[in-house]
A and B are shown apart, each in its own frame.
Chain A
């Protein structure tokens, strides 16, 4: 399983942007980059995913390096409700691999008011 490296924790001020980095130097050409988050006492929640191009949705933006060996999840204005563990996950896009998600330790994001 392709591995990702994330900082253990980060801290942000409310209403400010947050950039959560992820390194995935062993990424293969068929790996999609997925981000999930887990709020306290809840199940993980999908945030965003991409393959090569930067992606935007209502929750966040995903910036992918040109060589795809790193990516950054961007929360444009952090709120207290964004305090969670953020997971960067590589998913093999080849269907017969079962489409499993391999979660690492993630980054604990703390948001200060």
Chain B
């Protein structure tokens, strides 16, 4: 069974459209994340939710809105897509405590905006 799954794996869309990426984890973790990896391969955190509560919100345009319906899901909705949004988006999850902090990453969603 896949621990952290994302759908879709590939997403090609036009500028101005609205799209969503879904993420699910079956590890029973209490915290989920969204990261963006751009064409230069830098991975940057965008959001983090702990028990459905937003705890990290990095400098991300308002067009990006995460939604966590429950602890196992964290979806990413993007409005008015722009060319610069093209990247690979990774979802991750972890169980937060002081000493152990493995983050488990999904396979990524490659978003291409044309």
A32 to B4, CA, bound (A): 24
- Chain A residue total in the interface (Cβ 8 A): 24
Asked whether, in the complex, the Cβ of A34 is within 8 Å of the Cβ of B101, the reply is: yes
A45 to B101, CA, bound (A): 12
Question: SS class of chain B's interface: helix, strand, loop or mixed?
Answer: strand
Given contacts A43-B90, A43-B92, A95-B98, contact A101 B106 (CB under 8 A): no
Interface residues of B in 62-114 (CB under 8 A from A): 90, 92, 94, 96, 98-99, 101-108
**Interface mask (A14-42 → B, CB under 8 Å = 1, otherwise 0):** 00000000000000000010101010011
Asked whether, in the complex, the Cβ of A42 is within 8 Å of the Cβ of B41, the reply is: no
**How many Å from the CB of A42 to the closest CB on chain B?**
7
A105 to B4, CA, bound (A): 24
Asked whether, in the complex, the Cβ of B101 is within 8 Å of the Cβ of A91, the reply is: yes
Instruction: Indicate whether B25 reaches chain A with its CB closer than 8 angstroms.
Output: no
Asked whether, in the complex, the Cβ of B43 is within 8 Å of the Cβ of A44, the reply is: yes
Asked whether, in the complex, the Cβ of B102 is within 8 Å of the Cβ of A100, the reply is: no
Asked whether, in the complex, the Cβ of B55 is within 8 Å of the Cβ of A43, the reply is: no
**How many Å from the CB of B82 to the closest CB on chain A?**
23
Which residues on the B side are within 8 Å of A105 (C-beta)? 41-42
Contacting residue for A42 out of B44, B99, B101, B108, CB 8 A: B108
Which residues on the A side are within 8 Å of B45 (C-beta)? 100-102
Given contacts A99-B94, A99-B96, A103-B42, contact A44 B105 (CB under 8 A): yes
Asked whether, in the complex, the Cβ of A46 is within 8 Å of the Cβ of B90, the reply is: no
Asked whether, in the complex, the Cβ of B42 is within 8 Å of the Cβ of A98, the reply is: no
Interface residues of A in 58-113 (CB under 8 A from B): 85, 87, 91, 93, 95, 98-103, 105
Kindly list 16 other residue pairs between chains A and B, CB separation below 8 angstroms, not including A43-B4, A93-B99, A105-B41.
A34-B101, A36-B103, A41-B108, A42-B107, A43-B106, A43-B108, A44-B103, A85-B41, A91-B101, A98-B48, A99-B31, A99-B48, A100-B33, A101-B45, A101-B103, A103-B44
